[in-house]
Amino acid sequence: MARTFWCVAAVALGAVIASAQTRPAKTLDIYVVDVEGGNATLFVSPSGGSLLMDAGNGGAGAARDAGRIVEAAKAAGLTQIDHMVVTHWHGDHYGGLAELAGRMPIRHFIDHGPPTAPPAEAVQRFLQTTYPELHANARHTIARPGDAIAVAGLSVRVVTSNGDVIGAPLPGAGRPNSLCGSPPSVKFIPDDHESVGAYVTFGRFTALHLGDLTSNKEYELVCPTNRIGTIDVLLGLHHGQDTSNSAPFVHAVRPRVAIMNNGTRKGGWPEVMKTLFTSPRFEDLWQMHFSLLSGQEYTVPGVFIANGVDDQPGALPIAPQPLPPPGPGAPPPPAHNGPAHWIKVSAQADGTFTVTNARNGFSKVYPPEIQGTR
Ligand SMILES: [Zn+2]
């Protein structure tokens, strides 16, 4: 019996070695691109299928951010974006879209539909004139919770859109969530709560990106039963702002790793950092930037941080800095328009994933958990 087992194992091992020699590694690659406190997260499947969530900032930042996204797409070997999800109609998410579409073909546009609350004038103009031109020669889909996005080689499920959440648990999920308490009251910010959220799986690897979804909608997703289950990587985190990332949500989905798309003075709030650091099963937080709002007190070691600022000081403050009152008199955040670096996740079908900081090459492997511990 034992001898038969070893023979089979040897044959299987030989097959693995042979295949490893004859074809490149087959991984899902995720590029979290630095768009200065906006969002641009690119998923590339083993067969080259692509899904981009958001296109960074508009205005003066559009060329910079679109350029950084194209750089990541080229590094991944892409010549087009197959599926473009605009999570919601805020300038730090859709702003760079027209610029990007001018540099790289986009075949399919996905969004949550028009904003429910009357949008800002710039958004209205974009939706009435620019956006229809962008998707005139492509597919356009208004996402609904439960929809699948057909990215070759991946399973991508829409879990939130337009203020609605999935009605039934994802496969394997649906346990009661003892952390719920009463629903959170959140400051209303139009459109954040309508974000398109996506749950992405590749074999045993799982990732979740909810755009800027607010805590009241997080609550609907995981209370009273947790419809998401547990995940390997939580992406975005609404830049690390405290209108999202509530403990009943984060501690229920129990990410092993989070990658935060914060800016130099945007997100990374101490309360959010504490929620992450106290989350069961949590291993590491990776950040796009050091944030003045978290200070050294709440941030992670620099090796996990992808970007500095153009005029990098010799030392960074220990205490969190207060957010200046908004308005025209507010000083600008420290600028970062020079070279930028992404954080890359490479996931294998067995659940192993590697996260790499492109600034310093620091890389960490997260082996799959033993079956039955999820
Ligand atoms: Zn945002």
**C-alpha 267 – ligand 1 centre gap (Å):** 10
Query: Could you read off the pLDDT of 10-22 as tens digits, one per residue?
Result: 334 444 433 333 3
C-alpha 57 to ligand 1 mean position (Å): 9
Q: Is the peptide bond before 224 cis (omega within 30 degrees of 0)?
A: yes
Give the model's pLDDT for residue 372: 52
Q: How far is the CA of 317 from the centre of ligand 1 (A)?
A: 25
- Dist CA 40 CA 55 (whole Å): 5
**How far away, in angstroms, is 265 Cα from ligand 1 center?**
13
Please say whether the beta carbons of 43 and 154 come within 8 A: yes
pLDDT, position 186: 86
Cα(276)–Cα(265) distance, rounded to whole angstroms? 19
Distance 209 CA to ligand 1 centre (A): 12
SS3 (DSSP) at 88: coil
What separation in Å is there between the alpha carbon of 262 and the centre of ligand 1?
Answer: 9
CB within 8 A of 238, min separation 6: which ones? Answer: 192, 210, 211, 212, 213, 214, 244, 245, 267
How many whole angstroms from 350 Cα to the centroid of ligand 1?
32
Using the CB atoms, write b or e for 118-147: b if 16+ within 10 Å.
ebeeebeebbeeebeebbeeeeeeebebeb
Distance in Å, CA 244 to ligand 1 centroid: 11
What would the pLDDT profile of 84-129 be if each residue is shown by its tens digit? 999 999 999 999 999 999 999 999 999 999 999 999 999 999 999 9
How far does the centroid of ligand 1 lie from the alpha carbon of residue 46, in Å?
A: 29
Nearest-angstrom CA–CA distance, 311 and 361: 22
Say how far apart CA 246 and CA 182 lie, in whole Å: 12
Q: Ligand 1 centroid vs 211 CA: distance in angstroms?
A: 7
Residues sharing a CB contact under 8 Å with residue 373, sequence separation 6 or more, in sequence order: none
pLDDT in tens, 276-322: 999 999 999 999 999 999 999 999 999 999 999 999 988 889 999 99
The token duo for 226 is: 């947790």
Tell me the CA–centroid distance for residue 38 and ligand 1, in Å. Answer: 5
Centre of ligand 1 from the C-alpha of residue 39, in Å: 7
**CA-CA distance, 104 to 225, in Å (whole number)?**
41
Whole-number Å distance, alpha carbon 22 to ligand 1 midpoint, is 42
Measure 212 CA to ligand 1 centroid, in angstroms. Answer: 6
Q: Which residues surround ligand 1, an ion (CB under 5 A)?
A: 92, 212
- Nearby residues of 357 by Cβ (< 8 Å), 6 or more positions away: 286, 303, 304, 305, 306, 341, 343, 363
* Residues near 104 by beta carbon (within 8 Å), at least 6 away in sequence: 70, 73, 78, 79, 80, 81
The whole-number pLDDT of residue 371 equals 59
Longest pairwise C-alpha distance within the chain? 78
3-state class (DSSP) for residue 39 = coil
Q: 3-state DSSP call for residue 5?
A: helix
Report the separation in Å between the CA atom of 188 and the middle of ligand 1, taken as the mean of its atom positions. 14
**Whole-number Å distance between alpha carbons of 276 and 304:** 15
Of how many residues is the chain composed?
374
For the segment 263-272, the average pLDDT, to the nearest whole number, is: 96
Task: Give the pLDDT confidence of 189-206 residue by residue, as tens digits.
Answer: 899 999 999 999 999 999
Average pLDDT on 205-233 reads: 98
Q: What is the CA(195)–ligand 1 centre distance, in A? A: 10
Mean pLDDT across the chain, nearest whole number? 92
How many angstroms separate the alpha carbon of residue 78 from the centre of ligand 1? Answer: 25
Cα 313 to averaged position of ligand 1 atoms, centre (Å): 26
Q: Ligand 1 centroid vs 215 CA: distance in angstroms?
A: 14
| DSSP assigned state of 290 | -
pLDDT of amino acid 205: 98
Average pLDDT over residues 346-352: 97
Q: Tokens standing for 352?
A: 């192993």
CA–CA dist 249, 236 (Å, integer): 14
278 Cβ contact partners less than 8 Å away, ≥ 6 residues apart: 247, 251
Summarize pLDDT for 309-336 with one digit per residue, the tens. 999 988 889 999 999 988 888 899 999 9
